[in-house]
């Protein structure tokens, strides 16, 4: 008997269905690379970033599979690559509507659980694998550089602080994140990224914006002005929110949104590119 995954037989049909979906809908507002295929959900995306999402999703679906006290994560039955795209066949989960206060509490419980997940050895920042860091502070939401460490990210953020000082003659405090713990963070706190299954268990649906970030950036996400996020944050933090760096991060977000060069002239280690090149040539 063949041990080949039975979903292999669907590869070509899935590729064709996803291609048609993209052709027919890619100009539509809110377009997503997601289709329903037979009794499953198929997500697809460019391998350079979606492969990390699949790896994160798959890791946490296994971590939570037999732990009923944790959030639930849909299983990935099969994943494959074709040309520049990766595809994932995902378990569909039936969800139910619950009262808003119950939903808020369960999402807060899921966020608190994520914040307790230790960063694995070998992960400097962001998701498992080589995917980009996602956070609203960046101009395109994705980090413009594959930062090699928290120190490198700190240098980048403080470069933006120095630009603000030059432009306005007065600035905000430098950002200090190099000593912070890394926190598993859902950087897109939209209600649709969570659900409640028929047993009442909270479900985490989307891992495209989840990764390990310094705690200040994780806290910044939960201090967004949206009503839903604010209610979740109240359950997560209570009266114990550490507000250090938050004012500076808000100012940095504004500067990065206006920057002509997203990298601010720095490399992935947070060092000036020109200075590094001149040292090589000297």
Please, what is the angle between helix 100-115 and helix 227-237, to 10°?
60
What is the spatial distance between Cα 210 and Cα 156, in angstroms, rounded to a whole number? Answer: 21
Check whether 262 has a pLDDT greater than 60.
Answer: yes
204-228 pLDDT per residue, tens: 999 999 999 999 999 999 887 688 9
Q: Say what the pLDDT of residue 240 is.
A: 67
Delineate the domains of the chain, giving CATH numbers in brackets: 6-90 (3.30.200), 100-281 (3.90.1200)
Classify 202 as helix, strand or coil. strand
**Non-local CB neighbours of 193 within 8 Å, separated by 6+ positions:** 186, 204, 205, 206, 209
> What single-letter DSSP state applies at residue 129?
T
pTM: 0.88
pLDDT band at 242 (very low <50, low <70, confident <90, very high): low
Q: Say what the pLDDT of residue 275 is.
A: 53
What's the token pair of residue 190? 């939209």
Q: Say what the pLDDT of residue 1 is.
A: 35
pLDDT band at 278 (very low <50, low <70, confident <90, very high): very low
153-193 pLDDT per residue, tens: 999 999 999 998 888 776 789 999 999 999 999 999 999 99
**Rounded mean pLDDT of the chain?**
90
Q: Say what the pLDDT of residue 260 is.
A: 85
236 phi, psi to nearest 5 deg: -75, -45
DSSP 34-70: EEEETTEEEEEEEHHHHHHHHHHHHHHHHHHTT-TTS
123-152 pLDDT per residue, tens: 989 999 878 899 999 999 999 999 999 999
Q: Say what the pLDDT of residue 145 is.
A: 95
What is the spatial distance between Cα 59 and Cα 128, in angstroms, rounded to a whole number? Answer: 9
Check whether 2 has a pLDDT greater than 90.
Answer: no
The arithmetic mean of pLDDT across residues 26-46, rounded, is 94
Check whether 52 has a pLDDT greater than 90.
Answer: yes
Q: Say what the pLDDT of residue 5 is.
A: 83
pLDDT > 70 in the chain, percent: 94
Q: Say what the pLDDT of residue 177 is.
A: 95
What is the spatial distance between Cα 204 and Cα 208, in angstroms, rounded to a whole number? Answer: 11
**Non-local CB neighbours of 44 within 8 Å, separated by 6+ positions:** 18, 33, 34, 50, 85, 86, 87, 88
What is the spatial distance between Cα 193 and Cα 107, in angstroms, rounded to a whole number? Answer: 10
pLDDT band at 22 (very low <50, low <70, confident <90, very high): very high
55-74 pLDDT per residue, tens: 999 999 999 988 889 999 99
Nearest to 264 by CA among 153, 171, 174: 153
22 torsion bin: left (phi>0), alpha (psi -120 to 50), beta (else):
alpha
């Amino acid at each position: 008997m063949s041990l080949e995954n039975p979903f292999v037989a669907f590869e070509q049909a899935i590729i064709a269905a996803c291609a048609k979906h993209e052709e027919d809908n890619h100009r539509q507002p809110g377009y997503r690379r997601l289709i329903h295929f037979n009794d499953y959900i198929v997500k697809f995306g460019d391998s350079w970033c979606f492969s990390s999402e699949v790896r994160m999703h798959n890791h946490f679906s296994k971590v939570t599979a037999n732990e009923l006290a944790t959030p639930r994560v849909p299983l990935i039955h099969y994943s494959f690559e074709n040309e520049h795209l990766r595809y994932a066949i995902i378990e569909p989960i039936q969800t139910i509507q619950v009262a808003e206060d119950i939903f808020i509490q369960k999402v807060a419980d899921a966020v608190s659980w994520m914040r307790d997940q230790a960063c694995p050895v070998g992960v400097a920042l962001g998701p498992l694998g080589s995917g980009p860091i996602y956070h609203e502070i960046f101009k395109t939401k994705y980090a413009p550089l594959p930062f090699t460490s928290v120190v490198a990210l700190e240098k980048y953020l403080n470069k933006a602080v120095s630009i603000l000082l030059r432009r306005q003659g007065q600035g905000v405090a430098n950002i200090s994140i190099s000593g912070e713990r890394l926190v598993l963070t859902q950087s897109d706190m939209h209600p649709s990224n969570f659900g409640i299954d028929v047993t009442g268990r909270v479900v985490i649906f989307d891992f495209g914006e989840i990764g390990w970030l310094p705690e200040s950036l994780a806290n910044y996400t939960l201090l967004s002005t949206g009503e839903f996020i604010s209610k979740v944050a109240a359950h997560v933090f209570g009266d114990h929110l550490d507000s250090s760096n938050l004012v500076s991060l808000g100012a940095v977000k504004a500067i990065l949104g206006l920057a002509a060069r997203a990298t601010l002239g720095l490399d992935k280690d947070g060092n000036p590119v020109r200075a590094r090149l001149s040292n090589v040539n000297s």
